[in-house]
Structure 1
Amino acid sequence: MEAEFHTVSEIVQHDSRPKATGIEDLAFGSLAGMMGKCVEYPFDTVKVRLQTSETQVFSGTLDCLKQTWRNEGFGGFYRGLTSPLVGAMAENAIAFYAYNRIQGIIRTATGARPEDSLSLPQLFLSGGLSGTICAFVISPVELVKCKLQVENVQGYGGPANPAAVKFKGPLSVVSHLLRTQGLTGLYKGITPTVARETIGVGFWFGAYELVCRQLVRASQNSAKPLRSKADLGPAGIILAGGCAGISYNLASYPIDVVKSFIQTADVRSAGSSLTAAAEKPGIAGTIRIVYGRGGIPAFYRGLGITLLRAFPANAAMFMTYEYLSRLAAELHKK
């Protein structure tokens, strides 16, 4: 060990594993996104409903769970899954692809070797830029998802009103938006989405890399010290992936609340106390509306269940990506 590496820092920063190709990043990221979305989606449905509903609809997370189950059954937690499932596959494919390609650009610009890991600020920057790119892919997907997740809630606690449900599925939402608002209608809420993804994905990748490096450093005093992130076992990846998911949400959650509120304003206005002018709120207007519903805590409504699902969902994503990458690396050696 000492013949190859001289310092703990060098051990942590050196990774001789063959880098995944662009096609592999896209494929592995896609599968990772699918795995994570299946784990997290029921939690996400509750989160969006808590973020966007009037306070009298749900008293809290448990009440939202009970009402969703009573009114819609198990399928209610997966309402609108098709669109975000495809979106999650596309988002994570692009995220991992862009993240690794941007790192390559930074290495070239700084003269670093291909096998050397970048500094944490450089990794945060790589993650943030990849998030900016992803935002333009996932914004229409999240718009469709949020509308489908929220529209049924308008009938809770009152007589059934079939006319209140306008959409039969993702294609119905897309068709309606294109017919009534044109292509720009699919990008409602794009500004907060870009802000959320730039900040959130920067913390997502940055936290993952930070925890991995800390685990590698901590192993240097053990009987079997690790050489790099590639040597981490399942427990280490689960911990790092879970921390990445929590970091993403803690860093970007208030922005996500504003984004969800903007994207569902027209759906929530049907049969509610919202005025016609409130159907198209801007960012500043939305912030005022959310604040008026409960002050600063209103920007964190639904955070508990979001953090609860963030750990297992993101652990599943990074586990999937990491082990597929390791398998590919072994195949490249043969």
Structure 2
Amino acid sequence: MDGEIQALNELTQHSSKRPPPGGLSDLAFGSLAGMAGKVVEYPFDTVKVRLQTSSAQVFTGTLDCLRQTWANEGFGGFYRGLTSPLVGAMAENAIAFYAYNRIQQLIRQVTGIPKDSALGLPQLFASGGLSGAICAFVISPVELVKCKLQVEHVPGNAQQAGVKFKGPLSVVGHLLRTEGLRGLYHGIAPTVARETLGVGFWFGTYELVCRQLLMRTGRGNMSKDALGPGSIILAGGCAGIAYNVTSYPIDVVKSMIQTADVRAKDAEKGTLSRKGVMATARAVYAAGGIPAFYRGLGITLLRAFPANAAMFMTYEYLSRLVVR
């Protein structure tokens, strides 16, 4: 083990690194990567959000949620509200990859690390975390709209809550009329916390797995260009798992805050939508203890591997075309 750690440290300090694409390429490739990942993951995400924001009386579990969604809404129910998050995913990933690479460049300038030397893993985790914090301000309104649309058609919600949306623009219009611009950022605090932690682990885990794979195949002094599609799929999938495992409890709190006015039970009380992060977290705990913070995690991890593998595959191979 000590030998592997030492070898990994040497790799961190001395391995060559493919220069990142230019700014416009980062934005374009990140956007396409986000679109690919979102199309793969969205049906799983719909089930996740519905499980997060509903009690066991509504859905007994993942399979029951799948069955009810199919029976009540058909195939389209799994993609309800896709437009907003698809645009958001494209913007989020474009900014994430752009910021991630630019922050690395800034770290090199400040620390004097040469361009052809890889950054240390702590620096990569930090770069990912900072890029996630920036992305949070872009995706928070998008996720707010998405979550409301995803849970509106859960049995009983629309009828009892008195809220009915025709689509993303309907949600935006309702929020602007009732709460103003501030309403679009309901849940921004947990979104920032989730993205800072999650994206840090997302990029950090991806880089760590790639380096381990290069080291184990005797190519530790080479860049990620030496890795084949199977390795990129593995690294990207592991990155998605790491993102969700580390940030999932925060995501549950965020979803509860953002859907309080749509969910029938809480709309009747008229109070949860005004609660902050800690009050909402206490309410989640009171309703189901620690397991309540992980309700829907299974379906989330199931979607995380293929969706994030698709994202990193898209970004990596488009980047290689430009560099070559």
Q: TM-score range by the shorter chain?
A: over 0.9
SS at match of 2:153: helix
Contact 2:161–2:263 under 8 Å retained in 1: no
Of 292, 297, 300, the residue aligned with 1:306 is 300
Shift in CA distance, 235/77, structure 1 to aligned 2, threshold 3 Å? same
SS at match of 1:266: coil
Contact 2:172–2:184 under 8 Å retained in 1: yes
Query: How far apart, in 1, do the equivalents of 2:10 and 2:220 lie?
Result: 13
In the TM superposition, residue 279 of structure 1 has moved relative to its aligned partner by 3.0
CA deviations on 1:294-333 (whole Å, 9 max, x unpaired) are 1000000000000000000000000000000000001xxx
Task: Tell me what 1:329 maps to.
Answer: 323
The equivalences for 1:241-320 within 5 A come to 241-269=236-264, 274-320=268-314
Contact 2:141–2:184 under 8 Å retained in 1: yes
Q: Percent identity?
A: 72
The equivalences for 1:1-334 within 5 A come to 9-10=10-11, 13-15=14-16, 17-155=18-156, 161=159, 164=162, 166-220=164-218, 227-269=222-264, 274-330=268-324
Contact 2:160–2:268 under 8 Å retained in 1: no
Contact 2:244–2:300 under 8 Å retained in 1: yes
Residue identity in the other structure for 1:101: R
In the TM superposition, residue 276 of structure 1 has moved relative to its aligned partner by 1.5
In the TM superposition, residue 278 of structure 1 has moved relative to its aligned partner by 2.3
Moved more, 184-193 or 112-121: 112-121
Give TM-score, length-normalised by structure 1: 0.91
Query: Alignment length, in residue pairs?
Result: 318
Give TM-score, length-normalised by structure 2: 0.93
SS at match of 1:116: coil
Residue identity in the other structure for 2:143: E
Contact 1:226–1:232 under 8 Å retained in 2: no
Query: How far apart, in 2, do the equivalents of 1:318 and 1:52 lie?
Result: 30
Task: Tell me what 1:3 maps to.
Answer: none
Query: How far apart, in 2, do the equivalents of 1:10 and 1:152 lie?
Result: 51
Flag structure 1 segments of 5+ consecutive residues without an equivalent. Answer: 1-5
Query: How far apart, in 1, do the equivalents of 2:26 and 2:227 lie?
Result: 19
Query: How far apart, in 2, do the equivalents of 1:138 and 1:118 lie?
Result: 28
Shift in CA distance, 129/11, structure 1 to aligned 2, threshold 3 Å? closer
Residue identity in the other structure for 1:197: E
In the TM superposition, residue 19 of structure 1 has moved relative to its aligned partner by 2.8
Query: How far apart, in 1, do the equivalents of 2:161 and 2:125 lie?
Result: 47
Flag structure 2 segments of 5+ consecutive residues without an equivalent. Answer: 1-6
Residue identity in the other structure for 1:297: P
Query: How far apart, in 1, do the equivalents of 2:242 and 2:11 lie?
Result: 26
- Any runs of at least 4 consecutive aligned residues in structure 1 with deviations exceeding 6 A, and if so which? none
Contact 2:8–2:212 under 8 Å retained in 1: no
Query: How far apart, in 2, do the equivalents of 1:165 and 1:181 lie?
Result: 15
Query: How far apart, in 1, do the equivalents of 2:144 and 2:160 lie?
Result: 22
Query: How far apart, in 2, do the equivalents of 1:282 and 1:154 lie?
Result: 26
Contact 1:266–1:280 under 8 Å retained in 2: no
CA deviations on 1:68-118 (whole Å, 9 max, x unpaired) are 000000000000000000000000000000000000000011101112110
In the TM superposition, residue 282 of structure 1 has moved relative to its aligned partner by 1.3
